[in-house]
Each structure stands twice: as C-alpha cells, then as structure tokens.
Amino acid sequence: MENKDKPLSFMEQVQAIPGGEAVSVCFSCGTCVSRCLIQQKVEKAYNPRRMMKMVMMDLRESAFDSPTTWLCSSCELCYPACPQEIHISGVINAVKELAIEKGKRSPLKTAEVNTKTCVACGLCVEVCPYKAVHLVEKNIPNRGKNMTIAEVDNEHCMACGLCSSVCRSNSIELTEDCTDENVIDSLRNWLTEQSVKVTA
C-alpha cells in the first residue's frame, strides 16, 4: 500500500515541477552531452546525462552543486536529439528551482542595474529570455522614494547580455569581462587583427 505521508524523493519533487516529469525514462545514452555547446565550449564538467542520473539516484546535494544546474541556457539543442524525448532543460530548470528554494545561489556573474540612471522604460524586462528582470518600486538614495526601477533576479539571470544590448541609457550591463567597454575593446582588437591579416 502507498504511504501517503512519506516525504517525496528528490526525483518525485523534480517530477512535480512542470518540465521535470520525464526525467525517469533517461537511459543514459549521452546524446545530449555530445550535443551540448556549453559542455564543449564553456565547462567540461557540464553534463545533462549525469544530472538525470543524480536526480534518479536521489543525489540532491551533488545536483545542487553541479555546474549543470546553473549553466543550462535552455538553448534546446539537445531536446530534439534526445531519443527518449525528454525536455532536458525542463528537468534542469526544475532542479534549479529546488536549489534556489534551498537557498543555493547562481555562481554566474549576472547583470547589474545602475540605479542612478535607470529610467524604468522596461525594455530589458521585455527582452530577457529568462524573465529575470522586473520593474520594482524602491527607495534610491539621492534620487527619491518609491522610484520604479529595473531589478535583476540573480538566480534566474543567465548572463546572456541581451538586456544591456537593448538598454538605451546604458543602465544595465554584465560585470567583469562582459561590460560594454570590454566587449567593444575586444571587438576593436579583433577587427584590427583581421585588417592586419588582410593587408599583410
């Protein structure tokens, strides 16, 4: 007989979140892994197949600490290739929701809003593919009380930079290597290199 009071296993919790249902039918073929560009270009330890297995084997902590949980950009390259028709990013996002619930934080260097210049036009909110930017009311020192302003939800921001590319007042951008200035500099360097090559 089923015990109704038994706490849900990690897998059952993942399956209860829309998108996570099909995790249990993964037969570990690895198609998604060799399909994945994040695995190949960004992070070798990224592995959706292992994530499926961790969920099935109740390895909650390992799953929460795995880069796979935080780096999936939902590009959906793997989904049409999976022979078990598992919506893989759906499963990973379900794990991520549970991780956030448990207080885990994304290791990504996410976008930041310059509260001094943001005019709350909402363009960034519209374009963000991860629904990670919202307009909120806040007190801004030296600017005023209950100001409407953009705010980034760090746990859902995937640092794609789309927001900063549309912002008309340069008020939202990525940090470190990916600030507007750094991107423009490296683009300029690359172009110079190309023209040197062409003229040489």
Partner 1 sequence: MVDAARHPKIDVRTYTQVERVEGFVGNFKVQLREKARYVIADRCNGCGDCAKVCPIEVPNRFELDLAPRKAAYVAMSQSVPLLYTIDQEACIHCYKCVEACGALDAIDFSQEDKIVWEDIGAIVVATGFNHFDPSVIPEYGYNQYPNVITAMEMERLNNSAGPTVGNLIRPSDGENPKRLAIINCVGSRDKRFNPWCSNFCCMYAIKNAVLLKQMYPEIELSIYYIDIRTPSKGYEEFYERAREMGIKFIQGRPSLITEDKKSHNLFVHSEDITLGLVTEYEYDMVMLNQAAVPQPDVDSVSSVLNIQQSPGGWFMEYHPKLRPLDTPTDGIFIAGACQGPKDIPASVASGSATASRAGRILHSDEWEIEPIIAQVWEDRCVSADGKKCGICAKACPYNAITVEVGTAAQVTTAKCHGCGGCVAECPHNAITQLHYTDAQILAQIRALLADKPEEKIFAFRCHWCSYGGADMAGTSHFEYSANERGVRVMCSARMDTDFIYEAYRLGAGAVLYSGCHPQDCHYITGQLVGASRAERLQKIFDKMGMSPGRFRIEWISAAEGQKYANVIDEMQQTIDEIGKEKLLAEIESMKPEMEKRARRMYEVPDVTDASDYSDKMKIAMTLEVVDIGK
Interacting residues toward ligand SF4 by CB under 6 A: 26-32, 48-49, 52, 82-84, 86, 88
Element (H, E) at 143: none
Partner in contact with 26, chosen from partner 1, ligand SF4, none, beta carbon below 5 to 8 Å by kind: ligand SF4
Of the pair 50, 60, the CB lying nearest ligand SF4 is at 50
Beta bridge partners of 140: 144
Instruction: Supply the minimum distance, in Å, between the C-beta of residue 172 and ligand SF4.
Output: 34
Of the pair 13, 47, the CB lying nearest partner 1 is at 47
Q: How far apart are CA 40 and CA 34, in angstroms?
A: 8
Of the pair 66, 171, the CB lying nearest partner 1 is at 66
Amino acid identity, residue 167? C
Of the pair 66, 171, the CB lying nearest ligand SF4 is at 66
Q: What is the C-alpha end-to-end distance of the chain, expressed in Å? A: 79
Instruction: Supply the minimum distance, in Å, between the C-beta of residue 33 and partner 1.
Output: 4
Instruction: Supply the minimum distance, in Å, between the C-beta of residue 83 and partner 1.
Output: 4
- 3-class DSSP state for residue 134? strand
Residue 69's nearest CA partner among 93, 52, 35 is: 93
Instruction: Supply the minimum distance, in Å, between the C-beta of residue 24 and partner 1.
Output: 14
* 168 close to 124: Cβ distance less than 8 angstroms: no
